[in-house]
Amino acid sequence: MTDAAAAEAFSERNRRRLKFALQAVCLVTLVASLLLGVQSTRQALADESEKRAELLRITEEAAAQIDRILKPVSQATTDLAARLTRGEIDAATVEPALLAMVQSNEAFFGGTVAYRPYGRDPSTRLHAPYFTREAPAGSQQPTQLGDDYDYTVPATDASALTDWYVKPMAEGGRDGWSPPYFDRALSKTMITHSAIFMSAGPTPQKNGVVTLDVSMDRLKQIIRDLRLGPGGFGALTTSEGVYLYHPDERLVRERKTLAQIAQERHDPNRLALADAAAARSSGIMTHRSTTTGARSWLAYAPVPSTGWSLQITFVRNDVPRQVQEVRRQGIWIVVTLTGFLASLSLLLLRAHEGRTSRLWAGTAVVSLLLLAGIGTVWYLALNHHSPPADNGVARAPDDRIEITDRTVLLLEKERFDRQRRERRQDGLTYVPTGIHIESMELDGSNTVSVAGQIWQKLAVDAVADGPRGLVFHGATDVRVTPIDSSPDAANRFVVQRSSFQFKLRTQFDFSRYPLEIERIGIGIDPAERGRAQALVPDLDSYDILLASQKPGLEPGLQLRGWTIESTSFALRPRSENTRFGQQSSVDLEPFPQLVFEIGLKRIFVDAFISNLTPLIVVAIVLFSLLLLPDSVGIKEILGFCVSLFFVVVFAHLSIRRSIASGQIFYLEYFFLVTYFALLLVPINAFRRALQVPYPLLEYRGGLLTKVLYWPLTLGIFFVITLLKFY
């Protein structure tokens, strides 16, 4: 091709063709961007609306469930008070009726019939026989509350100790629930429902109250046993906004209200919530949780029989999403939007006219757009990607059972119990097991050192059989040291606690390096294989089970080079191909292995800075070589390229040694492209030295080669990124 032919290639006619092509690309990508954007927005709004409706339904069902549990409390007290008022029972026969009422429902902690002063007997000022379901064996019942404190005297502090009697018996007082209070006689925090009964005679008057107590521990258990779905934790307030339950127990102890917390934490949502609680209304609002600090949805619904308000905070990151679909939609939008902005910029700059300044301006804009596109795809890959199975082992999507709440665990236990009953097998003994990780350190790229504490809740009679051992699946250098063994308050079980240290071999998938999202799974098994026992997570030992709140992990714990995103428990089907010398039935499915999972995300900024810096420097130097005049000899250019080649090779080998991957990982493609560029530059220099003509490359002093260097290089990186993370 002659110089005239090269000039013809950039003639007016071809410039018009280039302009038309840019206009066509601009129009097509604009339309595609708008269509994809509208579709994505509509789908996001529809998904959010559907999710909000589902979360509100969960909250209303949970409130109804609380109502079904607590409604018998008010019904029982009202019924017994009515029988006293009608004279069906009297002071001589009330105690058997009171005992029967207390024992009629496991939700009832205890109850009393508290008479007004001298209301039962002119010779006795206070009479309030109290029965409880949790009386120690051999203790005498009933006890007299009047022997412990004067329940007719209003509390002079914030304890609300006597509100259960004083408020209903006051003028204008009526049946209802007391605020939480600490009962010194019972050493329990209680809430009490009181129902007034009247004296007989021509002028009836309030003669006392029938009460039933619900332990705050029981109320806490009721709320924690609710199926709140993944991503939710509950709180309960009175209609006045006083906290009855919250994972932050300080709010309950200090009798905080919604309005007070709104003021202390500058949370306007809680002010709106206080109004909703007073109005007994339901709804859902967008909220930033002051407990977790995360973006959330706050759903609320009334408990009909009590007038209380149940509030459930659903952390958005813990609510299941179609992350793969969202990521792919986002990538298509990035592609079309990058094409639109690049073509529009070239048109506005009139790069098709071929002027040197406009070509360089177009190069700069297109390069920046490609960099922005690569960065956006990185963001989508990191924030809309499901982590792999634990330790990188590929598994079927529904192979493992993630324990998101207590109901999921209960259903799994019921399934195995039913299966064993049908096959006339011995029932399983479930051993609640908890873990707390205190330190983690990554040794190299495939081994992590873990230390912490682990505990088990064993039945009192099981402890006599000797200590229970534990096996950490796949761990080496294991050291387990017993700490203590202590019974719970009710002497129902013994908590055996130990410290541990071990090293765990991980199997990370480095194909996305350095944009990995990984999961470490710590499998826990009982050392005694012969016993019919199964390990289950001790969920009662964790106030908030949200994965993003990292239950079982020391607050502030860090892992060098990684961000710890989440922790959770799961049950993983067993894959052993041996019975370890034990006899077993082929008809009996073994209970899954308990796994404590830790979700990780690599801090990619550190990896990119340490690994991409040599490539960036090499790319800039190669570009500088293109700008050199023709007078620079082939020897100097070849020397530069050889030096740069060794820089890239050593950086490449350093990464390979550190991550020990058996496959080509994402960052490695950057090295391969750099190798290719390192070959092209000396080849072009040889061509010039040997005077091999190629007019397009020589047009206007090699302008096209220089102008297209960054767009082509970044364009290749952009395409690789799209293919890798789509």
pLDDT of residue 622: 86
> What pLDDT band is residue 392 in, cutting at 50, 70 and 90?
very low
On the CB side of 427, how many CA atoms lie within 13 Å of its CA?
A: 9
SS3 45: helix
Torsion of CA 671, 672, 675, 679, to 10 degrees: -160
The pLDDT of residue 396 is above 50: no
Q: Which SS3 state, helix, strand or coil, does residue 584 take?
A: coil
Does the pLDDT value for residue 388 go beyond 80? no
Is residue 401 over pLDDT 60?
A: yes
Give the HSE-up count for residue 350: Cα atoms under 13 Å, Cβ half-sphere: 3
**Pairing, β 533-537 against β 429-443:** parallel
As a whole number of angstroms, the distance between CA 244 and CA 248 comes to 11
pLDDT score of 681: 78
318, amino acid identity: D
Q: What is the mean pLDDT of residues 481-503?
A: 85
Residue 466 banded pLDDT, cuts 50, 70, 90: low
Lowest mean pLDDT among 74-88, 121-135, 174-188, 261-275: 174-188
- In CATH terms, the fold of domain 72-218 is Beta-Lactamase (3.30.450)
Q: Of 432, 423, 426, 481, whose CA–CA distance to 452 is shortest?
A: 481
CA atoms within 13 A on the CB side of 196: 17
d(CA 484, CA 301): 43
**Residue located via tokens 């490449």:** 652
Percent of the chain with pLDDT strictly greater than 70:
89
- For 49, half-sphere exposure in the C-beta direction (CA atoms, 13 angstrom radius) is 6
Q: What pLDDT does residue 583 have?
A: 60
State the Cα angle at 376 between 619 and 622, rounded to 5°.
5
Is 632 strand, coil or helix?
coil
Q: What's the DSSP call for residue 215?
A: E
Domain ranges for the chain: 72-218, 228-318, 390-602, 606-692
DSSP code per residue over 498-522:
EEEEEEEE----GGGTTS-EEEEEE
pLDDT (average), residues 406-429: 82
Bridge partner list, 489? none
pLDDT band (50, 70, 90) for residue 722: very high
Class for domain 228-318, per CATH?
A: alpha beta
Share of the chain above pLDDT 90, in %: 31
Q: List the structure tokens of 284.
A: 């859902």
Mean pLDDT, rounded, for 602-621? 84
Q: What is the DSSP string of 679-721?
A: HHHHHHHHHHHTT---HHHHTTTTHHHHHHHHHHHHHHHHHHH
pLDDT tens digits, 295-331:
888 999 999 888 899 999 888 877 777 788 888 999 9
**Which pTM was predicted?**
0.80
For 336-364, write each residue's pLDDT tens digit: 999 999 999 999 988 877 788 888 899 99
Lowest mean pLDDT among 167-181, 294-308, 359-373, 482-496: 482-496
Q: What is the DSSP string of 148-199?
A: T--TTSPPSSTT-TTHHHHHHHSTT--SEEPPPEEETTTTEEEEEEEEEEE-
> How many residues are listed for the chain in this entry?
726
- What CATH homologous superfamily does 390-602 map to? Neurotransmitter-gated ion-channel ligand-binding domain (2.70.170.10)
More confidently predicted of 32 and 700? 32
Q: Which two tokens stand for residue 41?
A: 């927005």
**Using CA atoms, how far apart are residues 172 and 162, in angstroms rounded to an integer?**
17
Residues 6+ apart with CB under 8 A from 543: 247, 248, 249
What is the DSSP track for 390-416?
A: GGG----TTSSEEE-SHHHHHHHHHHH
Pairwise CA distance, residues 461 & 245, whole Å: 33
Rounded CA separation 696/694 (Å)? 6
pLDDT of residue 1 exceeding 50: no
- Rounded to the nearest 10 degrees, the angle between the axes of helix 703-725 and helix 666-689 is 160
Distance CA 218, CA 458 (A): 21
pLDDT interval class at 166 (50, 70, 90): very high
Matching CATH topology for 228-318 and 390-602? Answer: no
